[in-house]
Amino acid sequence: MKKVSGYTLVEVATALIILALTSPFFFQGFNELQRHVQDQPATIDWYLMLRELENPDHRLGVAMKYDNQERGVKLVRRPMTPAEPPSKIYFLSYFPKAQWLVLKTPNNGMIHLMRHVTSFKFTRDHQMTITITGGQRLRARLLLPDVKGEVSHEEAPGDSTRLSH
């Protein structure tokens, strides 16, 4: 008589019961991991934006705040030597309806830095605070120098009603 190898009905039932009892814990961990991965892109965008704004190759400096410090900041590309005038002007602007934080030029060129921004604040000591969709709050002090003196006679791009589009 040949012996057939395999599992008994009791062994299979025991394995299924153990699997049924432990599977909710695995799925809970998987759901937590998925939620954590979805939170990461905003944080990554934040650090990439800070890195670009503070990049020494860009030579950006803070010229002035505009629109009650709530909508944006005027940034200037600093010259290579003190005798040269600033070469380019940018506006770090917040568009609340679109929930964007952008770097804008006076001739309406635009670089989107972050999306899903529900609030933006920039203080005199260069403390930038944003809140993104979901309530996560991100804060950093920009390591950009102040640019003293008259930089340009150009104003912020458009009026405050245009900034809120």
DSSP states of the chain: -PPPP---HHHHHHHHHHHHHHHHHHHHHHHHHHHHHHHHHHHHHHHHHHHHHH-TTT-EEEEEEETTTTSEEEEEEPPSSTTSPP-EEEEEEEETTTTEEEEE-TTS-EEEEEESEEEEEE-TT-EEEEEETTS-EEEEE----B--S---S--SSS-HHHHT-
pLDDT band at 17 (very low <50, low <70, confident <90, very high): very high
Range(s) of the domain holding residue 110:
41-163
Structural domain includes residue 120:
yes
pLDDT in tens, 88-121: 888 888 888 888 899 888 888 888 898 889 999 9
Total domains in the chain come to 1
72 strand-pairing partners: 66, 93
pTM (global) more than 0.85: no
Quick: pLDDT tens for 133-162. 888 899 999 988 888 754 443 433 333 323
Q: Which tokens go with 149?
A: 């003196």
Residue 139 belongs to some domain of the structure: yes
Domain membership of residue 136 (yes or no) is yes
Q: Does residue 82 fall inside a structural domain?
A: yes
Residue 141 forms part of a structural domain: yes
Helix, coil or strand: residue 57: coil
How far is C-alpha 147 from the geometric centre of its chain's CA atoms? 25
